[in-house]
Structure 1
């Protein structure tokens, strides 16, 4: 049975049983505890916590999930995967244990021709929590599983929670016996490789307190309602129903391995180390494609760093397999072809997905090239020292600082006849992981208590009137202070106000919230911010400036008209710039984030490499031509599929409802899904002036712009600046660039002449110093203050030249400068002096304390700086004494 069919049968089974089918949430949810969605129940957390009333009493979904704690173990075993699909059914105070158990049993054991999976009931085992007699009785007496195939287990195995205070409860897990060839007898307690868990039924009936680990927390008491949360691993069921040994051999994963075999010339299943690499490629290619599809881009922290690691592990593994050319596009192509029936975004957005993946591959191949040079330097130093082992700290620096994988370091070391201190490397890696886990744990906390808003959310959404009007008569539904409902608020207080109707836009979609006022007789309230709760309740954060406001009051809520005008200009300008980017750069320039506020917009988009000046000029020109065309701005509401079929752009990673609002500017010029406020026609945006463009992460660029009056003010400043330059240079404005270029060129020439003059002076000084060299024993010594005005860079050149003029006799040179109250110094010793035991780097210790300085270097030359110019003479005396000591003369 194909994986897509397994998914479909699961959803159909529960829809027929009265459940509402809910689409998978994005892998990215606004949850402070989660980097990625890692369980099927995550999108339903507000319902389980009682913060929101669910729109359905039962639901079913197949949730895409990513877990990344075990990245290093992926491929080593066949059990670890980063991306997986979790099929689940959920009850929010509706049915409980009996129905959860019988629903699961029916789907697993019903014949294939009746819509089930056709598992042999005799090969299914179950576990229950230690004292859960109710679940045991249902399995034994109603389902008919013999008691010997029902095992009781403790909290670590059969008690579920989110790892933080919240809902929890005992669970019952269903296992499939794969047969004696996979392990020993005795059920799940004996061998979880032979007895494979395929479904976990969680009976959420309690609330847990603080604590760590799976079994070290307190049970506070029962939940108001008993809930059901189940999770069936789609990939595990797939490899059982497809008669293969593990997920890597299933219909959605094995084709990626086949492509890797084709590209590398090696065969899966013949060598363990190669098999690990094949599995890494197959697992990570799926995960990377799904993450990019949901809007993640490679970066140096957070989600972006995880994606970068995954992509680089693919490149590394392909290289170690012997693939001799870039292969990322071919891997993600296979992922698209196999996964798109369940996830169409892989097909519709393939160009963007492959561009991001290939861009990271290209960058990493350059890293590998530079890392190879760094390795060669390290290896040369090890050999020069007569050693055979590259230190763990050096291997760790290559890995952590330069992104050079440890297995490539090991391979190259072996080829060079060296080994690596792997224990030292692993210790440093373990320390880094410990720090990362401690940091992640410190960031985890209980979900914010939003229960104060639940009654208000259940009442229904705030009616937003701001598309039609700027002033609305509203009723005060609630006042909230420090998370508690209060009846009134007086002048000077900061509170939150919930209204039944509001014209004030609540922050979302990159548009910041409106500013405005709430007034009544003797009352004036300043609105500082407006935020959404549960995506539908407007919460106004305000300061009471005059009078007293009371729950139940009727008030006038008014938007600051100037603020709204500027905000709509910024928001509509963002849409225009987006459309212009795609027109100039192509369809891969896709939005990756935005911010717009009165007079200003910021737009992030997917793109590899900086824009040229010509591209930036074209983008600005296309935008302003569209503004001047005075395109009509139309908005309408339609269903999501129709909007997409019309070509409306959606923001990646955003979850949309069945109905969406489309903003259309100039027909085909710009069409996006958007809930924000906009101008009536494009001319109302006013002039758009691009301020610049920069990188904000791997594969992500950012443009910023002013619009409307802010654009005019910016250009007025630029014009004033140009007029000032024109007056100073005494040329017309249009000739300023040429005159500035001419002046810059003359400055370059003057600097070169000055440098030549300075070099001559340094050479002349070198001869004078060499002639004054002292003879201390067998050593010729120059120890003196440097000429006034000699820079730190010139000092090194001067010392080197003096040393060269002293011939083949043992010679030491030290000069101490005086630059802005600092004492830069350079020490040099020629080869003959080094043979006497005099080393430049060691001499620093003899005089450095005299000038409160420090420095270092090698035997032939060392340099540094001091902070006390008054100690220069004492430093010179100390050097003379030390050289005399080493030269054997007093």
Structure 2
């Protein structure tokens, strides 16, 4: 049974039993505490927790999920995958244990011919929480399982909670028995891999508090509405129904594995290490495909870092299989073809997906090449010294260049040296400890969203700011320092929830409005407006006069000048986006934006820097659109109708069934957007594109000033031009030529000075050679050159002196002060002859010792090295320390 067919049967089964079919949410979670959607229930958390009233009594979905906490186990076990799909059925105060158990047993054991999944009851086991006699009795009633195949287990396995105060409850898990050839008898209680968990039924019925651990908490009582949250692992059911060994061999994953094996000239099933690598490749390519399809692009932080890590693990795994060149052009199309029947968007968006993936591969292959050069150098040093690559080098390769320790070990082993694994492990642990401490600190800073539960239960905040800047409303709730209260007093920072508001809450790339909230006997300055949970506007204010109480009449007043600037900037974002697509083509998709009064920032998919001519063309098209005074029309309609009209739905954005469509010049710019806009393009005023930069291997960013801010920027530049024209005594049109002429004269003068400085230093060679003295077994030349032009001059002189020493053991160390703050910056340069290095004297060690005396650091190769510091007065001491090191 194909994976897509299992998905279809699941949704049909529950739809026929009164469940609303809810499409999969994005892998990018709405929950601010989560990076990704990590479970099928995540999109339903506001309903399950009671934070937001559920729009339907029961629902079903097949949710896309990403988990990376066990990424190192991928490929090693039959069940660990980063991307997976969770089939879920949910009840929000509707049916409870009886319905959940009855539905689960019916779907699993109904024959395939009758629309079920066709499991043999003889292969199934069930676990229940040891104190949940109700669930045990229901399993006996609705299933044909003998009592010995319904096992009671404790809180550590069969009690669900988020790990935080809130909803919790017992759960019941369903397992498939793979058979005696896979392990010992005894059921799931043995915790043996023979028994595969395929479905978990969570009975959310209690409110808990005082949570100290997974098993140590206080049950406060039953929830007013008991909920059902279940999850069946689609991949797990698929590998069982398809008769394969693991999730990597199912129809949605195996084609990528086979293509990787073919490229590497390997046969799957012949070598354990190769098999693990092939499974990693198959899993991570699919995960990368689905993440990019949901708008994630590679970067060095957050979600983008996770995607980058997955893609790089694919490249490294291919390399360990012997494939050193690019392979994504073969692997990603294989994954697309396997997934498009379930997710058509991976085919329709493949042009974007492939450009992102291929660009990342190209970039990392270059990075990999430079990392291998570092490792090769470390191996050469190891062969000439300690016989092992340092743990610090291995960690640098892992942390900076993305090398897994396995790759360093393999390459080093082939070269006949080892790697200091103990130091590497220690550094990795220190990094993990820092990451945990950082995560804990960030977790402690998050607001407890439960404080808004009752407020959201009163209904959605109605935004009326499209049509009115001032609006009288009513205070529904007040929160001070994270706790609900009945009053906010003068001088306090408080959060206000109103029934309606004209103040825009930050969203869709548009910053929140500025303004005030006033009422009888009070006034408050609005500092921020946010939507911590869907549908709820929370106004952060400073009470500047009087006090505010619950139910008080309150008027929201938007700062008209700020709103005008914000609408100008938001409409300018749409205009620049359309201009970008005009110039660069339809592949230049918006990948993020931010706008506020007078400023807009737009990220877009493109892998190359824009030339000055291209930037000028985009700016010109944008301002021509402003001058054309296009009508800006905003309409509300269904999502499908909007897409049929060609409205752009942007990657990574989430849309409801009803959407707002903003047209500028008709179809010239037509986008889904809930923000506030001008009524005609001329109102934007002026667009001044001030910056263009990279925000990743596949994304660029343009920044523009808008309206009066754009004019003020041009006016400031005009003043600078006038100053230059007067100072240089040339007409404005000749400024560039004059500056270029002066720059050429300056470069010529600097070159002449450098030549004279080099000649001056070269004249000192005979004197310095005569100053050589024997220290131990080597000829030692050392001197303080005083003030020098540059470090390059010192290095050149050091190399000349070393050559003059010939074949005998010799060391040259010169110090000096290069231009810098105050008295300048001290530096020390050391060089050794080949015969000195045979005695174990390394220039890197000498430079490091000297730099330490100067209050800095240094190092380098055994033949030539350099160090620097902050205290020129310690140059004499630095030379003394180097001499002592040689003596030793």
Q: TM-score, normalised by structure 1?
A: 0.92
Distance in 2 of aligned mates of 1:549 and 1:348: 53
Deviations 1:626-652 (A, max 9, x none): 222211111111111221222222232
Distance in 2 of aligned mates of 1:476 and 1:875: 71
CA contact (8 A) 1:164 1:445 kept: no
**Matched position secondary structure for 1:268:** coil
CA contact (8 A) 2:688 2:710 kept: yes
In structure 1, the residue matched to 2:623 is 624
User: Residues 46-61 of structure 1: matches in 2 within 5 Å?
Assistant: 46-61=46-61
Distance in 2 of aligned mates of 1:848 and 1:489: 59
How has the CA–CA distance of structure 1 residues 745 and 229 changed in structure 2, closer, same or farther, with 3 Å as cutoff? same
Matched, 1:724 2:698: no
Distance in 1 of aligned mates of 2:550 and 2:437: 45
Distance in 1 of aligned mates of 2:391 and 2:885: 37
In structure 1, the residue matched to 2:253 is 253
Matched, 1:385 2:385: yes
In structure 2, the residue matched to 1:282 is 282
In structure 2, the residue matched to 1:569 is 568
User: Residues 284-433 of structure 1: matches in 2 within 5 Å?
Assistant: 284-323=284-323, 325-385=325-385, 387=387, 389-422=388-421, 425-426=424-425, 428-433=427-432
Distance in 1 of aligned mates of 2:409 and 2:109: 50
How has the CA–CA distance of structure 1 residues 803 and 378 changed in structure 2, closer, same or farther, with 3 Å as cutoff? closer
How far the C-alpha of 1:785 sits from its partner, in A, is 4.0
In structure 1, the residue matched to 2:138 is 138
In structure 2, the residue matched to 1:78 is 78
**Matched position secondary structure for 1:512:** coil
How far the C-alpha of 1:476 sits from its partner, in A, is 3.4
Deviations 1:349-405 (A, max 9, x none): 211111111111111111222222222212222222373x43444333322222233
In structure 2, the residue matched to 1:13 is 13
How has the CA–CA distance of structure 1 residues 783 and 608 changed in structure 2, closer, same or farther, with 3 Å as cutoff? closer
Bigger Rg, which one: 1
For structure 2, the residue ranges without an aligned partner over 5 or more in a row are none
How has the CA–CA distance of structure 1 residues 814 and 734 changed in structure 2, closer, same or farther, with 3 Å as cutoff? same
How far the C-alpha of 1:826 sits from its partner, in A, is 4.3
User: Residues 13-52 of structure 1: matches in 2 within 5 Å?
Assistant: 13-52=13-52
Deviations 1:285-321 (A, max 9, x none): 1111111112211122222221111111112222333
Deviations 1:716-763 (A, max 9, x none): 111111111122222221221122122212221221111111111111
Distance in 1 of aligned mates of 2:119 and 2:528: 56
CA contact (8 A) 2:828 2:851 kept: no
Distance in 1 of aligned mates of 2:727 and 2:359: 47
Of 162-171 and 347-356, deviating more is: 162-171
Of 267-276 and 117-126, deviating more is: 267-276
How far the C-alpha of 1:273 sits from its partner, in A, is 2.1
Of 509-518 and 529-538, deviating more is: 529-538
**Matched position secondary structure for 1:697:** coil
In structure 1, the residue matched to 2:165 is 165
In structure 1, the residue matched to 2:733 is 734
How far the C-alpha of 1:11 sits from its partner, in A, is 1.5
How has the CA–CA distance of structure 1 residues 546 and 233 changed in structure 2, closer, same or farther, with 3 Å as cutoff? same
Of 413-422 and 352-361, deviating more is: 413-422
How far the C-alpha of 1:70 sits from its partner, in A, is 1.5
How far the C-alpha of 1:102 sits from its partner, in A, is 0.4
How far the C-alpha of 1:790 sits from its partner, in A, is 5.4
Distance in 2 of aligned mates of 1:855 and 1:543: 52
Deviations 1:234-278 (A, max 9, x none): 111112222222222222111222322333333222222222122
In structure 1, the residue matched to 2:177 is 177
Aligned-CA RMSD value = 3.2
How far the C-alpha of 1:814 sits from its partner, in A, is 5.0
Distance in 2 of aligned mates of 1:774 and 1:677: 79
How far the C-alpha of 1:453 sits from its partner, in A, is 3.5
How far the C-alpha of 1:561 sits from its partner, in A, is 1.3
How far the C-alpha of 1:71 sits from its partner, in A, is 1.2
How has the CA–CA distance of structure 1 residues 407 and 469 changed in structure 2, closer, same or farther, with 3 Å as cutoff? same
In structure 1, the residue matched to 2:103 is 103
Matched, 1:244 2:256: no
Deviations 1:437-490 (A, max 9, x none): 454455446974344543442332222222122222333334443345544545
Deviations 1:805-848 (A, max 9, x none): 56677766555435516654445565677789988778789998
How has the CA–CA distance of structure 1 residues 286 and 746 changed in structure 2, closer, same or farther, with 3 Å as cutoff? same
How far the C-alpha of 1:4 sits from its partner, in A, is 1.4
User: Residues 647-658 of structure 1: matches in 2 within 5 Å?
Assistant: 647-658=646-657
CA contact (8 A) 2:786 2:815 kept: no
Matched, 1:203 2:203: yes
Distance in 1 of aligned mates of 2:435 and 2:741: 54
In structure 2, the residue matched to 1:228 is 228
In structure 2, the residue matched to 1:149 is 149
CA contact (8 A) 1:476 1:499 kept: yes
**Matched position secondary structure for 1:80:** coil
How far the C-alpha of 1:80 sits from its partner, in A, is 1.1
User: Residues 468-483 of structure 1: matches in 2 within 5 Å?
Assistant: 468-483=467-482
How far the C-alpha of 1:861 sits from its partner, in A, is 5.8
In structure 1, the residue matched to 2:711 is 712
Aligned residues, how many?
884
CA contact (8 A) 1:33 1:443 kept: no
How has the CA–CA distance of structure 1 residues 778 and 692 changed in structure 2, closer, same or farther, with 3 Å as cutoff? closer
Matched, 1:753 2:767: no
**Matched position secondary structure for 2:694:** strand
CA contact (8 A) 2:508 2:675 kept: yes
CA contact (8 A) 1:32 1:444 kept: no
How has the CA–CA distance of structure 1 residues 647 and 803 changed in structure 2, closer, same or farther, with 3 Å as cutoff? same
How has the CA–CA distance of structure 1 residues 642 and 768 changed in structure 2, closer, same or farther, with 3 Å as cutoff? same
CA contact (8 A) 1:125 1:187 kept: yes
Distance in 2 of aligned mates of 1:879 and 1:10: 75
Distance in 2 of aligned mates of 1:858 and 1:717: 50
In structure 1, the residue matched to 2:684 is 685
Deviations 1:175-204 (A, max 9, x none): 122222333322222364322211111111
CA contact (8 A) 2:519 2:554 kept: yes
Distance in 2 of aligned mates of 1:44 and 1:378: 52
How has the CA–CA distance of structure 1 residues 210 and 349 changed in structure 2, closer, same or farther, with 3 Å as cutoff? farther
In structure 2, the residue matched to 1:664 is 663
How has the CA–CA distance of structure 1 residues 815 and 206 changed in structure 2, closer, same or farther, with 3 Å as cutoff? same
**Matched position secondary structure for 1:817:** strand
How has the CA–CA distance of structure 1 residues 612 and 523 changed in structure 2, closer, same or farther, with 3 Å as cutoff? same
Of 673-682 and 504-513, deviating more is: 504-513
Distance in 1 of aligned mates of 2:202 and 2:878: 76
Distance in 1 of aligned mates of 2:269 and 2:881: 70
CA contact (8 A) 1:264 1:324 kept: no
Of 853-862 and 164-173, deviating more is: 853-862
**Matched position secondary structure for 2:257:** helix
Of 114-123 and 410-419, deviating more is: 410-419
Of 467-476 and 103-112, deviating more is: 467-476
How far the C-alpha of 1:435 sits from its partner, in A, is 4.5
Distance in 2 of aligned mates of 1:825 and 1:517: 62
Distance in 1 of aligned mates of 2:835 and 2:99: 91
CA contact (8 A) 2:121 2:144 kept: no
Distance in 1 of aligned mates of 2:877 and 2:394: 43
CA contact (8 A) 1:160 1:168 kept: yes
Deviations 1:673-732 (A, max 9, x none): 111100111111111111111123342222110011110000111111111112222222
Distance in 2 of aligned mates of 1:618 and 1:739: 27
